[in-house]
Structure formats: C-alpha cells, structure tokens
Amino acid sequence: MTTGPATAIRVTHLGKKYVLGGQKEKYSTIRDAIVNSVKAPLRRFTSHEPPQDFWALKDVSFDVEQGEVVGIIGRNGAGKSTLLKILSRITTPTEGTVDLYGRVGSLLEVGTGFHPELTGRENIYLSGSILGMKRREIDAKLDDIVKFSEIEKFLDTPVKRFSSGMYVRLAFAVAAHLEPEILLIDEVLAVGDAAFQKKCLGKMGEVAKEGRTVLFVSHNMGAIKNLCKTCILLADGKEKMTGVTSDVIQEYISESEKIVTSTLSERKDRSGNGKVKILSFKIENDEGNSLIKSFDTLIIHLEFESKITLYSNFQILIGCYEINSFPLFRIDSGVISIKDLQSNKFDILTSEINLNSVYCTFNIALFIDGEMSDYIINATNMKILENNRDNVKKFPPDLATILIESKFLY
C-alpha cells in the first residue's frame, strides 16, 4: 500500500474578526492606557456609530500537500492578506485552527520581516536564525542571496534607508534562498520593476520544482496560471471556490465582469470619505467610438456629485490593468483648481495608447484637497483591439505601469 503526499498546511474553519469603531482592549504603554482613560468618558458623545463586527475571514478550510504550489486570488478586501498573516503567525485567528508542517518563510507587505535598524547583511543572518539555521548554513547561501537581490553596494546599510524596491529585492532573495519548507508570497512583487518581477517568478518556479510548498497571492492571473495547478478563490472573507487553476480564474473573471454592470452611482463596493462621489465614467476614442483600438487617443467622460461646498482642488487618478493582472498604464490629472470647472461634468483627453490587443479593467480614484474622497475598483472593463502600425513597437500587456499624458477639457 502506497501513501500519498504528506500535508504541509491544514486550515480548519478559520475566522478572523475585527471590531470597527470599538474600544481597544490592550494598550502598549502606561501612557496609552492613561490617555485612553481620559478620552473614554467623551467617546459616547463623539462616536456617531456603535462598534460593528467585521469578519475579514469566515469559516475557511483547505489542505495543501507538501510540494504543492497553490494560488490564492480574489478582489481587494477578500481576505487574502489576512489569511497569509495568520499563516505567518503575525496575526492570531479569532476562531479555527492552522497546522503548519515545516519551517515557514514569508514575504508579505513591505515593512514586515526585517529590523529597520539592522543592515541588509545583519537581517539576512537574523532571518536565517529565526528559521533555525546555523551560521554556516547561512554563510553558504549569502553570496546567492546578495547576487539575486542586486543590492551588494548597500548590503551594510540599515534597511530603513532602503527604497521599497530594494527592500523587496532583498526580502524575496532571503525568503527564496534560505530554503523554508513552506513559502508564503503576497502581492509585494508588484513593487519591483518588470525585469525583477520576471526574475522572481522564475525563482518561484525553481522553488516549486525542488518540492517545497508555496502559497502565492497575486492579481497576476498569468503568473498564477503558470505556477499553480490548484487555486483558491476568496470572496468577502469566505472560500468561494477551490479547484483547477484555469477554472477558478474563469470564475473570478466572470464575477469581476458582473460587478461593472451596475452604474457607478449604485456601486456600494467603494472607499474614501464620500464627500465627493463619482456618478459616471465612460471611455471613447477621440472620434466618439466606444470600440477602442491600439494607438487611439482616449476621451474619458466623468460626472460627479458633491456633498460639500468648501474645497479648493481635486485630482483624478485612473489605473488601467490587464484584467486582474499587472498595471498597463495610469492617468494622472494633476491637481486641478475647482475654480476651473464650469459644472460637475468634465472630460479627460489622453495621448495615444500604444498597447497590444488586451482585455483590461479601470480603477478610478478621486482626491479632494489631498484626501481620497472616492475609489472604485473595476469601474469599467473593455477590450482594446489590435490596430497594426508599421515600424512601431507596442507595449506588451505585462509591462510595468507607464504614465499616459492627459489634459482636461472643461
């Protein structure tokens, strides 16, 4: 009788609850406790809403076998990062259990994992020690880590002086080369440039072939499809679907397409302070055609409503992404004076978009006096059609984000 692969990760009825607007129960210092005691009598007069329970994860269960590479996908706020933080022992679950069989290495958001006052070299040895490695084992990996991260000149600089890109380079190199049995990777690879992202994905493929277990959170469906045979789709903190990666991705894309069928004024899945709200968002080319082709100039029609009268300026940021994947381009209006607007409608004229044929989605954010007032993911989807032009190189869909020049038409 033969036995199957051993279990590397077992998650059973996992849940994580946060209290929104509630009083914190723990204080890090005596000063914090004193300040809280002074403020406590005033809270009932200043708080407009009672505390509410928010479940970032609820009743999530799955097993991952040793040597398996599993993708985790879902929209922003689905619970992906919360799940990885629990698996990394950064956050404790409210309910349920997690069993990990092997040493765990994790690469989560920028800022976790390294001590800011220590140098890059010192953090490499610290990370290895946490994994239970002996100094000679870390010595044997040091050159490979430094070479891969491409930060040799800054190795003896405190990491608090690193840029976010340098930090991620070193963090990924450490996580991948110190050989944990279980590797947890969040969406931080998006911080690096396109060449380094490709290098990291190649290294993750090597790690998978070595028989180590990988849990990979990403919006890059191409990378998920290439690396993972199995995929988990999270939605609203719950496990919506687990199965063959291609099937799960198709379900994810179908759900994303359904979201944009409602008008923006009716959309509830938005963030920001809500003082100014986007009502409509429409894209055409400069000839008024909604069928967009490569090299077209775009006109973006926007309408908004305002609940306030006193503000000085606003700013529009629009991001275009390959459907649930890497950024393609972004549009930045710059800071616009409210005095320049004649109404609550305006248009943005862009330069040419020299992209290959691609199905893409648009996110839009509106800032009022420097504060985000409205932010909508998947405001609209569209297909950019092929339009060949001789001797002109078009950007591939996996290019890191570029800025498309734009100007307002009042």
Domain ranges of the chain: 7-26+49-257, 264-409
Residue with tokens 């600089």: 157
Residue appearing with tokens 């005596």: 30
Residue 143 DSSP class: H
For residue 94, what pLDDT is reported? 95
Q: If the chain, 410 residues long, is cut into consecutive pieces of 10 residues, what is the mean pLDDT of each piece?
A: 73 90 49 50 49 87 92 85 88 94 74 79 88 86 90 91 81 81 74 68 80 85 84 93 92 68 72 87 83 84 82 84 70 77 77 78 87 86 74 51 57
pLDDT number for residue 28: 47
β-partners of residue 232 are 72, 242
What is the pLDDT, as a whole number, of residue 188? 58
3-state secondary structure 276-335: EEEEEEEEEECCCCCCEECCCEEEEEEEEEECCCCCCEEEEEEEEEECCCCEEEEEECCC
Cβ contact 61:14 at 8 Å: yes
Beta carbons of 267 and 315 less than 8 angstroms apart: no
Question: Using CA atoms, how far apart are residues 266 and 262, in angstroms rounded to an integer?
Answer: 7
Cβ-contact 296, 315 below 8 angstroms: no
Residue 232 DSSP SS3: strand
CATH code, 7-26+49-257: 3.40.50.300
The pTM assigned to this predicted structure is 0.62
> CB–CB of 209/242 below 8 Å?
no
Residue 28 CB coordination number (10 Å)? 8
Confidence (pLDDT) at 325: 57
The pLDDT value recorded for residue 275 is 86
pLDDT for the residue 253? 75
List the structure tokens of 242: 């687990």
Nearest CA to 70 among 238, 189, 183? 183
- Please report the pLDDT score of residue 32 as a whole number: 53
Contacts with 133 (C-beta within 8 Å, 6 or more apart), sequence order = 178
Q: What is the pLDDT of residue 36?
A: 55
Write down the pLDDT at residue 59.
Answer: 95
pLDDT for position 1: 44
264-409 CATH pick, 3.20.130.10, 2.70.50.60, 3.40.1800.10, 3.90.850.10: 2.70.50.60
Q: What is the predicted pLDDT for the residue at 247?
A: 92
